[in-house]
Amino acid sequence: MTSHTLPTDTIVKKPNFETQRFEGRALQSYILSTITIVMAVSACLPLFSVIIMLLYRGGKRFSMEVLYALPPTAFETGGGFGNAIIGTLFMVGLAAAISVPFGILAAIFLAELGPYKKISQICRFCAKTLTGLPSILAGVFSYAAVVLVMGHYSAWAGGIALSLLMIPIVMLTAEEALKMVPKSMKEAAYGMGCTPAQAMMKVLLPVAMPGILTGVFLAVARAAGETAPLLFTALFSEYWLQVNDPTASLAVLIYNYSGSPFENQIELAWCASLVLVVLVFILNIASRALGQRKK
């Protein structure tokens, strides 16, 4: 009955993890882990590089003047991008004014009124497809549907192009937020004799509001940074905002001036990037803070 007695050395000998690390399977695991760590860290490098360059090159040029002055002409010094800030705010505001009610109302239908209806499934599918719509095609559409109809480039066309990009984000995040509301709260509202509309307005929407705002902030942040759809809907302008004329925006200003041969305009492009990235990051962090509080 030799098989029943264990060889004593396996019990006594403890595995030495320090040397095991350099043998066979453990070595493979060790090497792969190192590679993964290096890859993960190097993936963060572009972010740090961008931020450092923005602070260095954009921060150098930053002054209060850039926030309210008009863009300089080619050989001028100084100047700023006050009109681009106003233009961005106007167009993003317009896009939000269209997409927020649109997205939330559709999300209410998707989450509460008819989640399993055929139309909801098609709508959800269309919204997800719209999320993948290249931003430039939103611009092409807005050009065909608004610019060609109105006969001129305008801030309206730019805002409508941006709203196309915001609608699916707002809709899908709002739907998720509404689904997170505990069922018992809704049932309590109905039990009190609320109509569906009252239950939505007085109970569901207020409870889901942080989640919905997360989506709205994310969508606004994305729209504020979009350039492609504005290239041929809002174009660019060196003057203050006039809604029926070409309108300046921060993103298009960066694009236009990045190819400029004039040092002053390149500096302004960096400075505008800094302002834009700060704006986008604030919106992102705000949305994240709201999302965290929800849990």
Partner 1 sequence: MDSQKELPMKWGESYATPPSFRDRLFDKAFRGMAYIFTTLTIVLLAYILFEIGGKAIPAMQKYGLNLLVSTQWDVNQNIFGILPEIWGTLYSALFALVVGGVFGVAIAIFLTQDFLPHKIEIVLKNIIEMLAAIPSVVYGLWGIFVLIPIIRPFANFLHAYFGWVPFFGTELSGPGLFPGALVLSIMILPTVAAVSQDAFRAIPYKTKEAVYGMGATRWEAILRVMLPTASGGIFGALVLGFGRALGETMALAMLVGNSNQISLSLFSPANTLAALLALNFPEAGTTEVEVLMFAAIVLLVITLVVNVVGQLIINYSQPGGAKR
Within residues 181-210, the interface with partner 1 by CB under 8 A covers 193, 195-198, 200-201
Q: Which of 13, 14, 25, 295 is close enough to bind partner 1 by CB under 8 A?
A: 25
Both structure tokens of 25: 């399977």
Query: According to CB under 8 A, which residues from 81 to 140 bind partner 1?
Result: 101-102, 105-106, 108-110, 113-114, 119-120, 122-137, 139-140
Binding-site member from 28, 63, 73, 244 for partner 1 (CB under 8 A): 28
**Per-residue contact flags (x/-) with partner 1 for residues 220 to 259, judged by CB under 8 A:** -x--xxxxx--xx--x---------------x--xx--xx
Q: Closest separation between CB of residue 1 and partner 1, Å?
A: 28
Q: Report helix, strand or coil for 261.
A: coil
Interaction of residue 43 with partner 1, rule CB under 8 A: yes
Complex with partner 1: residue 122 or 188, whichever CB lies closer: 122
Nearest to 22 by CA among 14, 30, 12, 11: 30
Residue 243 or 277 having the CB closest to partner 1: 277
Q: Which two tokens stand for residue 269?
A: 């492009």
| 262 lines the binding site for partner 1 (CB under 8 A) | no
Residue 171 or 241 with smaller CB distance to partner 1: 171
Do residues 215 and 290 make contact, with C-beta atoms less than 8 angstroms apart?
no
Closest distance to partner 1 from the beta carbon of 270 (Å): 7
Other C-beta atoms within 10 Å of 58: how many? 22
Q: Whole-number minimum distance, CB 257 to partner 1, in Å? A: 9
The answer to the question of residue 49 lying near partner 1 (CB under 8 A) is: yes
Calculate the CA 258 to chain-centre distance.
Answer: 23
Backbone angles phi, psi at 240, to 5 degrees: -70, 165
Decide: is 289 part of the binding site for partner 1 (CB under 8 A): no
Q: How many other CB atoms are there within 10 angstroms of residue 258's CB atom?
A: 13
- Identity of the residue, 1 or 39, whose beta carbon is nearer to partner 1 in the bound complex: 39
User: Do 210 and 290 contact (CB within 8 A), yes or no?
Assistant: yes
- CB of residue 226 to partner 1, shortest distance in Å: 7
The alpha carbon dihedral of 198, 199, 202, 205 has a sign of negative
Sort 214 into a burial class: Cβ within 10 Å, 0-12 / 13-18 / 19+: buried
Distance CA 231, CA 111 (A): 36
- The residue count for binding partner 1 (CB under 8 A) is 89
| Residue selected from 166, 273, 290, 291 as contacting partner 1 according to rule CB under 8 A | 273
